[in-house]
Homo-oligomer: A and B are copies of this chain.
Amino acid sequence: MARLLHPRLDDVPLEAVLHALSDPGRLAIVRRLHDCDVAKADGLACAVAAPEGMPKATMSNHFGVLRAAGLIRSEKAGVRMVNRLRTEELAARFPGLLDAVLAAASSATR
């Protein structure tokens, strides 16, 4: 498998981040990754499942867009791929942005 490329966040334009988040499927994945981070911080195990009805290839494409936009880091862990939000780096580069998007997404589906 080709090595996965992760951009430096300084090289990622704000528009690319907004575009990556503007798709409902990708936004759902980002929310699940965030929920997993919260669960892990509480000592719980967590794996991100595909949103209901999303084909594996679509999920994989979404991860590719999120990775290219600097939103996630993907690492091989044995035979699995572990994807994590680049939360701290994003907060340093675009303060408040991911928090505001996650809060808005969360309140929209309440």
For the complex, count residues of A whose C-beta is within 8 A of B: 23
In the complex, 22 of the A-B residue pairs with CB atoms within 8 angstroms, ordered by the A residue number, are: A13-B108, A14-B104, A14-B105, A14-B108, A15-B21, A15-B22, A15-B23, A16-B22, A18-B19, A18-B21, A18-B22, A22-B22, A93-B104, A94-B100, A95-B100, A95-B103, A95-B104, A96-B96, A96-B99, A96-B103, A97-B100, A97-B101
Given contacts A94-B104, A96-B96, 14 further A-B contacts (CB under 8 A): A14-B108, A15-B24, A15-B27, A18-B19, A18-B27, A22-B22, A93-B104, A96-B99, A96-B100, A96-B103, A97-B100, A97-B101, A97-B104, A100-B100
